[in-house]
């Protein structure tokens, strides 16, 4: 297991190069780091905002981009109802602003290297972000390791990166996309119209050629508990499941 | 570097001195865990103190609950930057566990082990003098599964990843051996007041 620069990561100023509204609640922010770094898909950065009186606010955000595929660093930030930092990004931040970022960080929730055995990704809402970095890294390296994504969202328009996901599925026979749409009827017959449960995870596992050897789950704590309990009931081994839960 | 347009909500008033650098206060109790949440029944629960590889003493749930209990109110600080003030716990102080095991200071370092194979290292000095406990209740109620129930280590003066959930053993080691996160880029000691988040901080 590599430590991937966690020891070396120091704060640096990054300029916002672009801002894109991705879903009603999520915007992507693209940054130019002063000192570019290469991260492994699944890693995060810490972001620090400083007020004129010296007060600072720090949060961790997963990286959405793949280091090889994108020259900028992409963070997809969901606006939280009472968010201090997410509200700043959604309401105040503009292209050209400088933001302090430290990374890449995290040495556990990482796309496997080498990637040989089937991978199952399970996410909800902005929990897709580190999983998307994995999908993008796999694609940028032209890897053909069988990979399934089970993604939960309220409606089709809440599906982050939906165009890119559908396009990846259409062009890559080793990538399977399954959506669990909880508040409307999904458009595709292969998708599910309910919350994630163990039967659904079993169905998605059956869409892979073999049982997954790596399972990555990301979302709120409640979602992650439901998804991991479901994965265990579906017969997946505890030791292959890695989780990332939103913090405070 | 001042961030354009950011004022922040500040940590405010009397509590500001209790919030370490880079942290913000929360009222809820976020949950962060690297894998599936284990289910541990008290009927199956066991807790062991080991010296090196050798088990020294093991307690079942009833035996452990018969040890002297202590209440602790503490501020807790997670490396993901949230802090929570005045959290109320009850459990067994580490010195009371060691006294019952007839151990004083076999070595200077401890590695805590858990039901989910998590581990974390803490110097013995940081576990003694009323600084740390194996907590059995939170806010007057049995510890919830999400927060490490039935029992977790509580070392509130260090970042919360040191307060290992679902703890089932304390192992004395001759040197300071990195645990799970300490081996994945996080700081070997983890003092929130010195912002020891990652390895070279």
Contact B184 A106 (CB under 8 A): yes
Chain B residues within 8 A of A95 when measuring between CB atoms: none
Nearest residue of chain A to residue B200 (CA atoms): A7
Residue B119, token pair as written in the block:
């581990």
Give how far Cα B200 sits from Cα of A65, A166, B81, B197, Å: 26, 42, 18, 8
Q: How far apart, in whole angstroms, are the C-alpha atoms of residue B136 and residue A233? A: 28
Task: Using CB atoms, pick whichever of A92, A106, A221 lies closest to residue B6.
Answer: A92
pLDDT at A74: 98
pLDDT at A216: 98
Please give the mean pLDDT across all residues of chain B: 95
Task: Using CB atoms, pick whichever of B8, B28, B200 lies closest to residue A248.
Answer: B28
CA distance A167 to chain B (A): 31
Helix (H), strand (E) at residue A29: strand A26-33
Question: What residues form DSSP beta bridges with B40?
Answer: none
pLDDT at A175: 98
pLDDT at A248: 54
Residue B183, token pair as written in the block:
């081996």
CA distance B1 to chain A (A): 7
Per-residue pLDDT tens listing for chain A (248 residues): 334 444 468 999 999 999 999 999 999 999 999 999 999 999 999 999 999 988 889 999 999 999 888 999 999 999 998 889 999 999 999 999 999 999 999 999 999 999 999 999 999 999 999 999 999 999 999 999 999 999 999 999 999 999 999 999 999 999 999 999 999 999 999 999 999 999 999 999 999 999 999 999 999 999 999 999 999 999 999 999 999 998 65
B27 and chain A in contact, CB less than 8 A? no
B9 and chain A in contact, CB less than 8 A? yes
pTM above 0.80, yes or no: yes
Q: How far apart, in whole angstroms, are the C-alpha atoms of residue A242 and residue A41? A: 14
Chain A residues within 8 A of B32 when measuring between CB atoms: 221, 245, 247
Task: pLDDT band for B10, please (50, 70, 90 cuts).
Answer: low
Task: Using CB atoms, pick whichever of A1, A84, A229 lies closest to residue B24.
Answer: A84
ipTM exceeding the 0.85 mark: yes
Task: Using CB atoms, pick whichever of A99, A109, A232 lies closest to residue B3.
Answer: A99
Contact A248 B78 (CB under 8 A): yes
Task: pLDDT band for B2, please (50, 70, 90 cuts).
Answer: very high
Percentage of chain B surpassing pLDDT 90?
90
Residues 6+ apart with CB under 8 A from A73: A14, A30, A31, A32, A33, A45, A63, A65, A101
The answer to which of A99-113, B10-24, B47-61 has the lowest mean pLDDT is B10-24
- Best of B25, B76, B81, B144 to disrupt the A interface by mutation (most A CBs within 10 Å)? B81
Chain B residues within 8 A of A4 when measuring between CB atoms: 185
B52 and chain A in contact, CB less than 8 A? no
Residue B195 has pLDDT above 50, yes or no: yes
CA distance B35 to chain A (A): 5
Task: pLDDT band for B8, please (50, 70, 90 cuts).
Answer: confident
pLDDT tens-digit readout, B145-174: 999 999 999 999 999 999 999 999 999 999
CA distance B32 to chain A (A): 6
């Amino acid at each position: 297991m590599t430590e991937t620069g966690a020891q070396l990561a120091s704060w640096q100023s990054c300029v916002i190069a672009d801002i894109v509204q991705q879903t009603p609640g999520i915007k992507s922010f693209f940054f130019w780091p002063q000192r570019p770094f290469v991260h492994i898909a699944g890693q995060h950065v810490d972001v620090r905002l400083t007020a004129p009186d010296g007060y600072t606010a720090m949060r961790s955000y997963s990286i959405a981009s793949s280091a090889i595929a994108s020259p900028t660093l992409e963070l997809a930030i969901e606006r939280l109802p009472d968010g201090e930092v997410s509200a700043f990004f959604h309401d105040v931040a503009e292209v050209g602003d400088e933001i302090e970022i430290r990374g890449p960080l995290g040495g556990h929730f990482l796309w496997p290297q080498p990637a040989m055995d089937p991978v199952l990704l399970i996410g909800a809402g902005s929990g897709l972000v580190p999983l998307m970095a994995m999908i993008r890294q796999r694609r940028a390296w032209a890897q053909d390791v069988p990979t399934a994504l089970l993604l939960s969202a309220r409606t089709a328009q809440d599906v982050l990166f939906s165009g890119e996901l559908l396009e990846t599925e259409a062009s890559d026979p080793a990538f399977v996309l399954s959506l669990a749409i909880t508040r409307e009827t999904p458009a595709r017959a292969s998708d599910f119209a309910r919350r994630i449960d163990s039967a659904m995870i079993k169905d998605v596992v059956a869409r892979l050629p073999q049982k997954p050897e790596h399972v990555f789950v990301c979302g709120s704590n409640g979602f992650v508990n439901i998804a991991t309990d479901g994965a265990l009931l579906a017969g997946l081994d505890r030791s292959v499941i890695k989780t990332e839960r939103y913090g405070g | 570097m001042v961030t354009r347009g950011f004022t922040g909500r500040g940590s405010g008033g009397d509590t500001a001195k209790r919030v370490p650098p880079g942290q913000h206060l929360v009222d809820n109790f976020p949950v962060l865990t690297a894998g599936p949440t284990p289910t541990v029944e008290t009927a199956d629960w066991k807790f062991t103190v080991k010296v090196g590889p050798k088990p020294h003493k093991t307690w079942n749930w009833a035996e452990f609950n018969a040890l002297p209990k202590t209440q602790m109110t503490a501020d807790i600080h997670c490396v993901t930057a949230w802090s929570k003030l005045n959290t109320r716990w009850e459990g067994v102080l580490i010195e009371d566990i060691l006294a019952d095991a007839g151990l004083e200071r076999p070595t200077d370092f401890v590695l805590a082990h858990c039901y989910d194979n998590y581990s974390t290292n803490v110097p013995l000095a940081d576990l003694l003098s009323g600084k740390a406990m194996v907590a059995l209740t939170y806010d007057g109620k049995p510890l919830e599964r999400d927060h490490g129930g039935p029992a977790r280590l509580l070392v509130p003066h260090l970042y919360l990843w040191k307060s290992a959930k679902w703890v089932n053993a304390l192992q004395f080691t001759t040197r300071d051996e990195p645990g799970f996160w300490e081996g994945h880029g996080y700081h070997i000691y983890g003092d929130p007041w010195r912002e020891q988040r990652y390895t070279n901080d």
